[in-house]
């Protein structure tokens, strides 16, 4: 088909008139260098701190952490695929978000909220930024509801309340993870959603923990966020923030949530690695200057909030009294030194600490809690009334016992009063021993404390305490289930409860054979 020059001219003019062009402004840059998981980019003039950037050529993402005058420092989330020099990079205009919701309960996800347990892929609907401001003081409620761990030594001596931040600190292999996992297991049928964040652990260790949670039917109300040792430092750095965002979803709905960070020492190591690669000035122990801010802005998000805060977050659709997010951060020490840089930082942020001692652990006392170095700044305000009443004198007695025990090592001639106190202390220590995953309810703790406080264990030898303890609890649960459930539901202590407990122990003593 031949066209004349005038027809061609008219066709071009017509197409020019019908051409629709909408200018689009894009924030772009180009890659200068790629080294050790850090990408330096020229351009991206309007980028903000923590913004997600995309490398479309490789279909990968990164986070902008260094904003300098001549280049942008970006950390890559994937440690296997990297862009090339000269590649184009685009700013997204958004900070990093993770999917949240009830659908993640019972699943294992990575730091980006992607399922990694081999199950069905979750279609995400609600996304929330991993970095948020902590609730303001005016929206916070006083902590007055207990969160039971199932360990008598913790629930009595260093009680944890809903919305509290209680540090678990100690050397490696002293039972820190066990306390965190058992606290999750103990929340069964208590309407507490749990998040376990594994940072820098072996994949086999994480798989074992997931299996334990499944065995005790705890996965149905638990989300496991995994950032294993094989993943990049960036993923280990953001994993606690992702887990916290998932926990805040439940808190802002007026529900109770518990999050265990295992452990923040490895997150600090990952952040130090990132900061040194970004060539930030090193400070004490080569950590960057904002290492304290890293943990403070994370742990401050754990809180018990009032109904006004929940109403504001839910646009007035949900009317509930309060919601809470309780944090149990874990810190690993070296040779029992709790005065280390990261240890003292987190101790100053949290509302108390549970200190696990290596010598106690090796001597067979589990959980290996050093009662003199452990403290809860919430105290009795977050305790059940019956435990507060019956366990009030135990901490003082244990402190006196440890002093007398240390003193008795230097003296062979002890009077009968001192010997009696040491024997009483040994019985109390034996009573506090608990095996892994062998947790106690409020009523079980109550009858044990009532027995030792009222002298019913005076005739029992120290070696028979564990047998007496197990037999008494079984007798109590099987023969007096009505009283058992009454104490569990009310948690109160009165004369009638005391008479019931006395009657049970006296009846048990008649049939007990050491």
217 vs 27, 104, 210, 214, 302, CA distance in Å?
49, 16, 10, 5, 25
Which DSSP letter does residue 233 get?
A: H
CATH of the structural domain 28-94, one choice from 3.10.50.40, 3.30.930.10, 2.60.40.3710, 2.40.30.20: 2.40.30.20
Q: Is 140 a catalytic residue?
A: no
Question: What is the topology classification, in CATH, of domain 389-511?
Answer: 1.20.150
Look up residue 437 and give its two tokens. 């995953």
Look up residue 142 and give its two tokens. 């006083």
95 vs 91, 240, 452, CA distance in Å?
10, 16, 56
pLDDT at 318: 53
pLDDT at 382: 86
Cβ-count burial 60-84 (b if 16+ within 10 Å, e if not): bbbbbbbeeeebbbbbbbbeeebbe
pLDDT at 10: 79
Q: By the 8 A CB rule, do 270 and 340 touch? A: no
pLDDT at 260: 98
Domain residue ranges in the chain: 28-94, 98-382, 389-511
Cβ-count burial 208-235 (b if 16+ within 10 Å, e if not): ebbebbeebebbebbbbbbbbeebbbbb
Name the catalytic one among 251, 313, 377, 402. 377
Q: What is the pTM of this model?
A: 0.91
74's enclosing H/E stretch is strand 72-76
CATH of the structural domain 98-382, one choice from 3.40.50.300, 1.20.1440.230, 3.40.50.1580, 3.30.420.40: 3.40.50.300
Residue 246 gets the label, from left (phi > 0), alpha (psi -120 to 50) or beta, of alpha
pLDDT at 24: 64
Q: Per-residue confidence of the chain (514 residues) as pLDDT tens digits? A: 566 777 778 788 888 777 776 666 678 899 999 998 899 999 888 899 999 999 988 888 999 999 988 899 999 988 888 899 999 999 988 999 999 999 999 999 999 999 999 888 888 789 999 999 999 999 999 998 999 999 999 999 899 999 999 999 999 999 999 999 999 999 999 999 999 999 999 999 999 999 999 999 999 999 999 999 999 999 999 999 999 999 999 999 999 999 999 989 999 999 999 999 999 999 999 999 999 999 999 999 999 999 888 877 765 555 567 899 999 999 999 988 899 999 999 999 999 999 999 998 998 889 999 888 899 998 788 889 999 998 887 877 887 787 777 777 666 677 778 788 888 888 988 999 999 999 999 999 999 999 988 889 888 898 999 999 999 999 999 999 999 999 999 888 989 999 999 999 999 999 988 8
From CA 56, how far away is CA 89, in angstroms rounded?
Answer: 7
Q: Is 345 exposed, middle or buried (0-12, 13-18, 19+ CB in 10 A)?
A: buried
pLDDT at 134: 94
Look up residue 382 and give its two tokens. 């977050």
């Amino acid at each position: 088909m031949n066209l004349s020059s005038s027809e061609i001219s008219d066709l071009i003019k017509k197409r020019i008139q019908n051409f629709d062009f909408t200018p689009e402004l894009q924030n772009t840059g180009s890659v200068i260098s790629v080294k050790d998981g850090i990408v330096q980019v020229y351009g991206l003039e309007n980028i903000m701190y923590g913004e997600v950037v995309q490398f479309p050529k490789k279909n990968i993402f990164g986070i902008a952490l260094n904003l300098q005058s001549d280049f942008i420092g970006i950390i890559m989330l994937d440690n296997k695929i990297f862009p090339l020099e000269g590649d184009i990079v685009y700013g997204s205009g958004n900070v990093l978000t993770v999917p949240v919701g009830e659908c993640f309960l019972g699943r294992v996800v990575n730091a980006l909220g992607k399922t990694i347990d081999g199950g069905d892929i979750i279609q995400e609907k609600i996304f929330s930024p991993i970095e948020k401001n902590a609730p303001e003081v005016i929206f916070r409620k006083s902590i007055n509801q207990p969160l039971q761990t199932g360990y008598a030594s913790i629930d009595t001596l260093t009680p944890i309340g809903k919305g509290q931040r209680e540090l678990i600190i100690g050397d490696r292999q002293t039972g820190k993870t066990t306390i965190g996992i058992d606290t999750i297991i103990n929340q069964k049928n208590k309407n507490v959603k749990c998040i376990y964040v594994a940072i820098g652990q072996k994949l086999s260790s994480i798989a074992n923990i997931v299996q334990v949670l499944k065995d005790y039917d705890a996965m149905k109300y638990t989300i496991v966020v995994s950032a294993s040792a094989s993943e990049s430092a960036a993923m280990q750095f953001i994993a606690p923030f992702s887990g916290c965002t998932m926990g805040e979803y439940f808190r802002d709905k007026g529900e109770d949530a518990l999050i265990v960070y295992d452990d923040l020492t490895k997150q600090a190591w990952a952040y130090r690695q990132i900061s040194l690669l970004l060539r930030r000035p090193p400070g004490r122990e080569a950590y960057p200057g904002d290492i304290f801010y890293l943990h403070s802005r994370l742990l401050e998000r754990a809180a018990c909030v009032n109904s006004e805060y929940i109403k504001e977050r839910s646009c007035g659709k949900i009317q509930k009294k309060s919601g809470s997010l309780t944090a149990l951060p874990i810190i690993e020490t070296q040779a029992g030194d709790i005065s280390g840089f990261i240890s003292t930082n987190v101790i100053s942020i949290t509302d108390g600490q549970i200190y696990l001692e290596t010598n106690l652990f090796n001597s067979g006392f589990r959980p290996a809690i050093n009662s003199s170095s452990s403290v809860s700044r919430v105290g009795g305000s977050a305790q059940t009334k019956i435990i507060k009443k019956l366990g009030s004198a135990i901490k003082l007695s244990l402190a006196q016992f440890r002093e007398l025990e240390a003193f008795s090592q230097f003296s062979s001639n002890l009077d009968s009063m001192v010997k009696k106190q040491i024997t009483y202390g040994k019985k109390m220590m034996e009573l506090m021993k608990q095996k892994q995953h062998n947790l106690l309810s409020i009523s079980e703790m109550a009858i044990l404390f009532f027995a030792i406080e009222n002298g019913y264990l005076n005739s029992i030898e120290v070696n028979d305490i564990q047998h007496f303890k197990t037999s008494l609890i079984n007798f109590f649960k099987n023969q007096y289930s009505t009283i058992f459930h009454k104490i569990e539901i009310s948690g109160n202590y009165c004369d009638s409860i005391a008479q019931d407990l006395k009657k049970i122990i006296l009846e048990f003593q008649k049939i007990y054979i050491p």
